[in-house]
């Protein structure tokens, strides 16, 4: 008997900033699972900056979403029907077909996860999921961070940035500096997350704000923002500085190419490395990551704040609020159902 479900579809490729009219919520149904398949009811789904890229037709690292098709993304849910002995009904799983009430997919495409006593399952979309591994891989592998160094994180109150700063602190950073877009976020970074300094990038030229927050310069830059932040970091770098370029949310909705950093000649004399990365290339780090971060979470060394929107209806609002207005502090998630007991 087919399973009724509601799903978000992309109906139009956004020009510049996405608007609600680019999306459509449809009532439809999914067939019962076939042999080897499972049906998964969504508990919480993820909205992430990278999804903006999937809405464009332009070649990107992830394939473009098709128009009039249901969108995708990380989701945690519970198996409600199964024709796979490996993943029985009731199993909690992570999968990649978000933006819908119910997904039907091969059991081999889901990853069973353990309940998190006292913590929400949605953490599998953030600190214990792709954003967490992104922070881990970017900081420790791509940027080759080592104890005693000074780290600057742009977009530091976001899902990834807030973890980068905490990971750096826990692994012995000399100084952790972050930028964010509101005074409240800045206070959260220094007051709750243990950043040594933070600034609101609206308060002046980023170069000056960074120079004041890291007067002796920086060794590592973890960039989620791009543009002016990258130029400021290049100027602030000490010799042998490294940047892990994770994203450039400042440019995602630009219709004209943004101005580039005018100071790249400094890269030579200071022997600085800028390196872009995608978390998908670093799945081999997952065992290390999972051997460490859940313990930090349990002991309270890492805070994994979420900005939670309620119900599938709110998913596009949640996405736009995160992408356009920086409305999230920590990870933006959409919760469709409470965690099972």
**Main-chain dihedrals φ then ψ at residue 260, nearest 5 degrees:** -95, 165
206 sits near a copy of itself (criterion: CB under 8 A): no
In whole angstroms, how close is the CB of 254 to a copy of itself at the nearest point? 9
Concatenating the DSSP letter of every residue in 50-116 gives: THHHHTSSS--SSPPPPTTSB--B-EEEEEEEES-TTS-TT-EEEESB-SBSEEEEEGGG-EE----
* Contact pick of 81, 278, 285, 308 for a copy of itself (by CB under 8 A): 278
Contact between 270 and a copy of itself per CB under 8 A = yes
Q: How far apart are CA 24 and CA 315, in angstroms?
A: 11
Distance CA(296)–CA(200), nearest Å, equals 28
Identify which range of 83-91, 110-118, 243-251, 306-314 contacts a copy of itself by CB under 8 A: 243-251
Asked if residues 86 and 270 have their Cβ atoms less than 8 Å apart, the reply is no
For the segment 128-187, give every residue that binds a copy of itself (CB under 8 A): none
What phi and psi, each to the nearest 5 degrees, are found at residue 228?
Answer: -60, -35
For a copy of itself, the binding residue among 121, 160, 230, 318 (CB under 8 A) is 230
Q: In sequence order, what are the residues at sequence separation of 6 or more whose Cβ sits closer than 8 angstroms to the Cβ of residue 269?
A: none
Q: Which is nearer to a copy of itself, 57 or 291 (CB)?
A: 57
Smaller CB distance to a copy of itself: residue 269 or 300?
269
Handedness of CA 132, 10, 252, 310 (dihedral sign): negative
25 near a copy of itself (CB under 8 A):
no
Q: Determine if 194 is a binding residue for a copy of itself (CB under 8 A).
A: no
- Tell me which of 265, 287, 299, 341 binds a copy of itself, using CB under 8 A: 265
Contact stretch for a copy of itself (CB under 8 A) within 26-34, 161-169, 189-197, 260-268: 260-268
Q: Single out the residue of 268, 284, 287, 341 in contact with a copy of itself (rule: CB under 8 A).
A: 268
| Those residues with Cβ within 8 angstroms of residue 295's Cβ, 6 or more apart along the chain or in another chain | none
Is residue 246 near a copy of itself by the rule CB under 8 A?
A: yes
- Binding residues for a copy of itself, how many (CB under 8 A)? 34
Which residues contact a copy of itself (rule: CB under 8 A)? Answer: 53, 60-61, 226, 230-231, 245-248, 251, 257-278, 281
């Amino acid at each position: 008997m087919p399973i009724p479900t509601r799903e978000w579809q992309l109906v139009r490729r956004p020009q510049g900033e996405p608007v609600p009219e680019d999306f459509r919520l449809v009532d439809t149904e999914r067939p019962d699972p076939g042999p080897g398949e499972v049906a998964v009811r969504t508990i919480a789904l993820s909205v992430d900056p990278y999804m903006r890229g999937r809405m464009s037709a332009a070649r990107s690292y992830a394939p473009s979403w098709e128009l009039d098709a249901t969108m995708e993304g990380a989701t945690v849910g519970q198996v409600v029907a199964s024709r796979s002995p490996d993943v029985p009904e009731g199993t909690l799983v992570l999968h990649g077909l978000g933006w819908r009430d119910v997904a039907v997919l091969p059991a081999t495409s889901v990853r069973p996860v353990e309940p998190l006593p006292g913590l929400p399952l949605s953490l599998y979309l953030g600190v214990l999921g792709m954003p967490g591994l992104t922070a881990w891989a970017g900081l420790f592998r791509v940027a080759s961070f080592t104890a005693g160094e000074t780290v600057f994180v742009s977009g530091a109150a976001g899902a990834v940035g807030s973890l980068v700063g905490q990971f750096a602190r826990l692994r012995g950073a000399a100084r952790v500096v972050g930028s964010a877009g509101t005074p409240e976020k800045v206070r959260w970074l220094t007051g709750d997350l243990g950043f040594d300094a933070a600034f609101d990038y609206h308060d002046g030229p980023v170069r000056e704000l960074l120079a004041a927050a890291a007067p002796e310069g920086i060794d590592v830059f973890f960039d989620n923002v791009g543009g002016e932040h990258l130029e400021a970091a290049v100027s602030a770098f000490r010799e042998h500085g490294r940047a892990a370029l994770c994203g450039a949310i400042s440019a995602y909705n630009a219709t004209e190419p943004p101005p580039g950093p005018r100071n790249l000649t400094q890269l030579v004399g200071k022997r600085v490395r800028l390196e872009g990365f995608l978390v998908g290339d670093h799945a081999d780090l997952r065992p290390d990551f999972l051997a460490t971060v859940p313990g930090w979470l349990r002991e309270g060394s890492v805070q994994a704040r979420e900005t939670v929107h309620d119900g599938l209806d709110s998913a596009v609002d949640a996405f736009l609020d995160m992408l356009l207005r920086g409305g999230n502090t920590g990870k933006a998630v959409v919760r469709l159902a409470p965690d099972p007991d």
